[in-house]
């Protein structure tokens, strides 16, 4: 029987595409607490005449740092990961998207009983130089990552 390509939109796992949160609620809460702690520390150390004594470059640097920290926090709290028949995708400061067919190496990193603290992830290598890390907290996405790791990013035989 000759091999025929799968129809567009079909999933080699026999399951529909899945999507879920990239980080666990505990990691999100710890991130928020860390940012609040940094903010509290800065307020405590802030001099009374800071606007008058600090130069424009210093204030600009502090404002840029605040923007970056808040953007990272927002993306940790709102990041989503999606896997379908052809691609793995995660929202972040920039959207990460990798075609499964182009993956040359992958590792599924999952620490049982500590996934609430250590975010489970799939590390993939695309080609020679491209490394991507996809975090996942959703059970269905983790199961799909596990299936992908077992088959080594090769198509399943029907």
Residue 152 has pLDDT above 70, yes or no: no
**CA–CA separation, 128 vs 58, rounded Å?**
41
Under a CB-based contact definition with an 8 Å cutoff, are residues 65 and 75 in contact? no
> What local confidence, expressed as pLDDT, does residue 151 receive?
77
pTM listed for this prediction: 0.76
Q: What's the pLDDT band for 6 if we cut at 50, 70, 90?
A: very low
One DSSP character per residue, 90-150 reads: E-SSS-EEEEGGGEEEEEEE--TT-TTTS--EEEEEETTTEEEEEE--SHHHHHHHHHHHH
> What local confidence, expressed as pLDDT, does residue 49 receive?
63
SS3 23: coil
In tens, the pLDDT along 27-82 reads 999 999 999 999 898 888 777 766 667 777 888 888 899 999 999 999 999 999 99
Q: What's the pLDDT band for 158 if we cut at 50, 70, 90?
A: very low
Q: What's the pLDDT band for 119 if we cut at 50, 70, 90?
A: confident
Mean pLDDT of the residues in the chain = 83
Residue 111 has pLDDT above 80, yes or no: yes
Please tell me which of 1-15, 17-31, 50-64 the model is most confident about, judged by mean pLDDT.
17-31
Q: φ and ψ at 88, to 5 degrees?
A: -115, 135
Residue 9 has pLDDT above 60, yes or no: no
- The structural domains of the chain, with segments of one domain joined by +, span 12-158
> What local confidence, expressed as pLDDT, does residue 42 receive?
83
Residue 126 has pLDDT above 60, yes or no: yes
> What local confidence, expressed as pLDDT, does residue 7 receive?
45
Q: Does domain 12-158 have CATH number 2.30.29.30?
A: yes
């Amino acid at each position: 029987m000759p091999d025929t390509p799968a129809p567009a939109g079909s999933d080699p796992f026999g399951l529909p595409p899945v999507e879920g949160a990239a980080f666990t609620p505990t990691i999100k809460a710890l991130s928020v607490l860390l940012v609040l702690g940094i903010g509290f520390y800065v307020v405590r150390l802030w001099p009374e005449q800071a606007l008058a004594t600090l130069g424009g470059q210093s204030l600009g640097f502090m404002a840029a740092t605040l923007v970056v920290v808040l953007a990272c926090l927002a993306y940790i709290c709102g990041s989503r990961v999606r896997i379908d028949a052809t691609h793995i995708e995660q929202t972040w400061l920039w959207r990460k998207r990798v075609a499964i067919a182009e993956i040359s190496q992958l590792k599924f990193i999952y620490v049982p009983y500590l996934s609430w603290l250590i975010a489970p992830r799939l590390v993939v290598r695309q080609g020679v130089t491209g490394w991507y890390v996809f975090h996942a907290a959703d059970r269905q996405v983790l199961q799909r990552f596990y299936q992908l790791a077992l088959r080594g990013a090769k198509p399943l035989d029907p």
